[in-house]
Amino acid sequence: WDKEPCGKEVTVSTKLYKDAKDFYESVDESLHDDTVMYEVYSVSSQSEPGKLNWGLTVMHPVKVNGECNMTRGHFHENMDCEEYYWCSKGTGLLMLMDEEGKCWCEKMYEGSLHHIRSDWAHRLINTGDTYLKVVACWPADAGHDYARIEHSGFTYRVYCEGKDIIVKERRTNE
């Protein structure tokens, strides 16, 4: 990855397990701190209104004590900015949450297209045993509000037990 035909530079950021531990219900001692959870390839150097950013998230098929690998998840700082996600490989869930804390999921599979309303928080979850690859396009002035998710997070957790996907409500004392 260097310069693409459009002249933009694609950069990659890597999320390791040590920086993702807090997302999960419990710590998995069998995972190395440097286990790669996901990579985001992006062209996100722009910030002026009217411009677009683009990204590809590659989620590794990792489980944390049975809990499926997920992105940190965020609202957009600019609540007027919506986003599209398009799944190019794998299977997963797109977890969404509105401002009242109502939480639900859309199934992701090769070719599924997802429209994320500007006031919805969003998180990717890899429920499969292969890579989940998702292409995203969002307005350059959207920004990422992670603090709001840390304060009042998604209300469900997703686990894999054999071939079954189990969705559990989060404990209220978390």
- Binding site residues, ligand PA5, CB under 6 A: 40, 55, 57, 71-74, 83, 122, 124, 136, 138, 144
Smaller CB separation from Ni ion, 55 or 90: 55
How many whole angstroms separate alpha carbon 84 and alpha carbon 26?
31
For residue 162, the minimal CB distance to ligand PA5 (Å) is 27
Nearer to ligand PA5, 24 or 138 (CB): 138
60 binds, among ligand PA5, Ni ion, none (CB under 5 to 8 A by kind): none
Q: How far is the CB of 26 from Ni ion (least distance, A)?
A: 27
Q: Candidates 3-11, 63-71, 78-86, 92-100: pick the segment binding Ni ion (CB under 5 A).
A: 78-86
Q: State which residue has the least CB distance to Ni ion.
A: 83
Q: Kind and range of the H or E element at 150?
A: helix 147-151
Look at residue 71 and give the partner it binds from Ni ion, ligand PA5, none, a contact being a CB closer than 5 to 8 Å depending on partner kind.
ligand PA5
CB of 2 to Ni ion, least distance (A): 25
CA distance 97 to 100: 8
CA-closest candidate to residue 105, choices 155, 163, 172, 48: 155
Quote the CA–CA distance of 168 and 165 in Å, as a whole number: 10
- C-alpha closest to that of 96 among 149, 60, 135: 149
Which listed range, 18-26, 30-38, 75-83, 99-107, lies at the site for Ni ion (CB under 5 A)? Answer: 75-83
57 is in the binding site of which of Ni ion, ligand PA5, none (Cβ under 5 to 8 A by kind)? ligand PA5
Nearer to Ni ion, 67 or 83 (CB): 83
Six-digit token string for 21: 């531990």
E strand or H helix at 148: helix 147-151
How far apart are the C-alpha atoms of 130 and 50, rounded to whole Å? 35
Cα separation, 25 vs 132, in Å, equals: 21
* Residues making contact with Ni ion (CB under 5 A): 83
